[in-house]
Structures are given as structure tokens and as C-alpha cells.
Structure 1
Amino acid sequence: MGLGQYIRDFSSMFFPNICQACGKLLNVKEDCFCTTCVHHFPYTNFHLQPDNTLAKQFWGRVNVSSASAFLYFNKGSKVQNIVHQLKYNKQPQVGVAIGKLYAQELKQFPDYQNLDGIIPVPIHPHKIKKRGYNQSEQFALGLAQVLNTPVCTDILYRTEERESQATKNRIGRFENMQKVFNAVPANYALENVLLVDDTITTGATLEACIMALQNIGIKNIHVLGIAFTQ
């Protein structure tokens, strides 16, 4: 972690009105991110490309109705700063802000209209206790505000806490995620859902979640992430 990241971490504890991407002070009309950063974020525009790179990762493995991510993730980038603030520096409002930004783009497309619910990828209760919140759920809450869709946290749950995925390849990641997630049928209509995660690399975590949801009869599953690792 570089000096700049330490400064951002320290500043965010005492000066919350700073850009969570670059660390500059925000004006009264800005929320979490400065206008300059929002303008220059590395947007994927995957929602405009049905056969995008992320969607192709699921081909031949599990059926998804669509797959998209908001930003490209690269080490040392502002997007990494955002993810760091959300996951490790107790800044849940970052996830909500990103969700609201992305939903403004998505709300005009049919895939994101008339959804029955938004399901965040769950994390283990131990991590919830340590972090205080599920970062994917914060992202889901932001999406829900704009898409006018409920967040469903009572369907998908994590049964085990596994080792980090960081050093594993796609096969290793999938094997590590097998049998980690389970799902229970909803007592309300839930046929067309949005499954959301924070950072997507190989899609192995999402793949395991999709299989759990399909096992309880949910067929139309759209996948969405904050960031996609190139």
C-alpha cells in the first residue's frame, strides 16, 4: 500500500467529505466522488454489449440472462482505492453511491426493469462481525434506490468461510467456492433477479451463487458487479 492510500485512509476517518477515489475535498453538491473522477472513471459499458468479456466467462458453465460490471479494476488505480475504502476502511456509503451511479445508467434498459429483487453475494457472519456490513449489500442498496427494486438478503447465504481467492486460477477458485453457498425458496414471487458482487475476476464466486439460486428454481438471473478485473 502506497503513501497516498495511507493518507486517504487517515483522512477519511476525520474528513468524510473527501473523494473516496482521489482524496480531494468534495463540494456540497458532490457525493463520495468528485466530478472529475466520475467523468474519468474507466467505465466498461458492458451493459451495452450482451456478449461482453464478463458474460463470456459464464458461457458453457451456467446460464445467465445478462452480465455486466460498472468499472474496470486495475491495481494502483482509483477504482482500487474505491474498493479498498468500501471493503477495508469502513466506508459503506461508497457502495451505496456506486450503486446509485450505475443504476442511473441501467434503469433505461429492459434487463434492469421489472426485476423481482436484488440479491447481494453474501459474506460469512465472521466477516460481517469484523467489517460491520456486507459490501455487496451496500452496492445493492444503492441500485435499489434508483431501480425501485427490493434487496433480498433472506434467500442466499454462505455456509462456510474459505481461504482467499487471490492466488488461485479459475479452476482453483471454483473448486474453493463449491458448496460454500446455499439458497432457500422465497415465500414471495422471485423469478427475475439481479445478483450483485463487488469485484469480479473469474466469476467463480458468482457461478457458485448462480447454481444455488437455480437449485431453488430461479431461472432469470442477471449478474452485476462494481468492478471487473481485466
Structure 2
Amino acid sequence: MQFLKDIFYVFYPNLCINCEIALLQNEKFLCTFCKNDLPIIDDNEHINVTLMSTFYGRVPIEDVRSFLYYQKDGITQKIIHQLKYKNQPQIGGFIGEWFGYNLVEANVFKGIDYIVPVPLHPKKQRKRGYNQVTLFGETLSKILGVEYKSNVLIRYSTTKTQTLKQRFERFSDSKTKFKLANTTIFENKHVLLIDDVITTGATIEACANELLKTKNITISVATMAYTQKA
């Protein structure tokens, strides 16, 4: 069987998402060189304050962590693009595993009770076939020992692609709406809200405001990537 796998690999090699060279059999998604070039966000006070500042004065967030810096035409953008649009949901698990063990090592999110994904609209999820944060969240769930809770926070409207909007339009978008199916399940609980990328924080803010309809809820945020937009 291994011989057949080796023959198949010769003719149909997996390629690095970033540089597109053939991966070795012990490599996943990225070659060793590109993996070492990933712009991983350091866990330090200055960076954590910067991440938190996205939500200052807008919505009460207990803590925020993000794994990678996201820049236009950078390696992180290529990874997220493959994850969302090229039918590679497994990339979410790859990121979640690496990020999850980093969080454990940094002793972060010790008091979390549930992990909740930012949902896709059902029509978009049917078209794509998956929510890009599902495997990310499920992997974090296993590593952190916290229950993953989907289908409680529901998205029930469609919007234009966020990247096509100006910053003001993102902040003032009233069409993106979320509904909490059960306002008691998270009572007195600490919820970790997860998404792929933080840009303006508008989507996470909208989700958090819906979650805050729950009595005595605490909300933290974890994402695959973070970018600052002018």
C-alpha cells in the first residue's frame, strides 16, 4: 500500500500553498521554509493591547488572541484564500492545532466554557460546503478541553463581500444580523467567539452584541489572523 502511495505522490505531489514547490511527505500545506516564514503574532502585552483596542468603546471583550498577521498578497492571505475558496477546510485544523498548543503554552483562555463560531449564512455555507472556522474551532476544542457549540448563534442575512466595502460601510452595515437561538445556554458562562480574520471587528462586534443578550455572559475572541485597515 505504501508503495502505491509513493507512486501516486510522484505523479500528483501536494504543493506548498505559498511557494508551490512539492511538499515532502512529512509536510502539510506549507513547506518547511514557508512554515518558518509564517508571521506568527507574539503573545506579549503590547500586541495584546493592540488586539483589544479593536473593540474598545464598542463591545465588552474579556480577552483577544490571534495567530497570524494578515497582509495583502502575503502568505497568510494565501492560506486563508485556500481555506475559504479552494475547498481545503483541513487548513483550519492545521492552524487550530498549532494555535491551540501555543495558547496552552501561554496559559491563555483557561476559564473558557464554550467555543462558538461566527456563523455563515446558510445559503453561503451550502454553496461553499463548509464553514471555514469549523475545523479550526473543533481542533481548539480538543486541545483546550472546551465544548464546541455551533448552531446556537445563527446568521440570517446576506451581505456583500466585506473586502468590497469601505471601512465606514463595514461599521455602519445594518444588514448583517445574528440571532441567538437560546438565550439561557450561555448564562454565567465564558464564551470564546472564533472567526478567521479580524479587520475592523464589525462582524465580531455584531455577534458579541447578540451573545450579550444572555445574562452574565463573558466573551473572549480568538481568530486565525489579524489585520489593521487604514
Q: Is the shorter-chain TM-score for this pair beyond 0.5, marking a shared fold?
A: yes
Name the structure 1 match of 2:224. Answer: 226
Q: How has the CA–CA distance of structure 1 residues 49 and 182 changed in structure 2, closer, same or farther, with 3 Å as cutoff?
A: farther
Aligned positions, number: 217
Deviations 1:42-75 (A, max 9, x none): 1122565474322101011111011121111111
Cα distance in 2 for residues equivalent to 1:181 and 1:226: 21
1:69·1:228 contact (CA, 8 Å) conserved in 2? yes
Pairing 1:1-230 to 2, within 5 Å after superposition: 15=12, 17-46=14-43, 49=46, 51-177=48-174, 180-183=177-180, 184-185=182-183, 187=185, 191-217=189-215, 219-230=217-228
CA contact (8 A) 1:155 1:186 kept: no
- Between 24-33 and 76-85, the greater mean CA deviation after superposition: 24-33
Structure 1 188/205 Cα, relative in aligned 2: closer, same or farther at 3 Å?
closer
CA contact (8 A) 2:187 2:217 kept: no
Identical residues among aligned pairs (%): 37
Higher gyration radius (CA): 2
Closer, same or farther: CA 21–138 of 1 in aligned 2, 3 Å: farther
Moved over 4 A (4+): 46-51, 186-190
Q: Which amino acid aligns with 1:141?
A: E
Q: Is the 8 A contact 1:18 1:25 kept in 2?
A: yes
Amino acid at match of 1:87: K
Q: 1:205 to 1:81 in 2, by over 3 A?
A: same
Q: Which amino acid aligns with 1:70?
A: F
Deviations 1:105-156 (A, max 9, x none): 0013443224211111000011111110000222212222322222110321
Shift of the 101–211 alpha-carbon distance from structure 1 to 2, 3 Å rule, reads same
* 5+ long unaligned stretches in structure 1: 1-13
Structure 2's unaligned 5+ residue stretches are: 1-10
Q: Which moved more, 1:214-223 or 1:116-125?
A: 214-223
CA distance in 1, matches of 2:174, 2:49: 24
Aligned letter for 2:16? C
RMSD: 2.3
The 1-side partners of 2:50 and 2:21 are apart by 33
Distance 1:63 1:188, change over 3 A: closer
After the TM superposition, which of the residue ranges 186-195 and 123-132 deviates more from structure 2? 186-195
SS in 2 for 1:52: helix
SS class of match (1:68)? strand
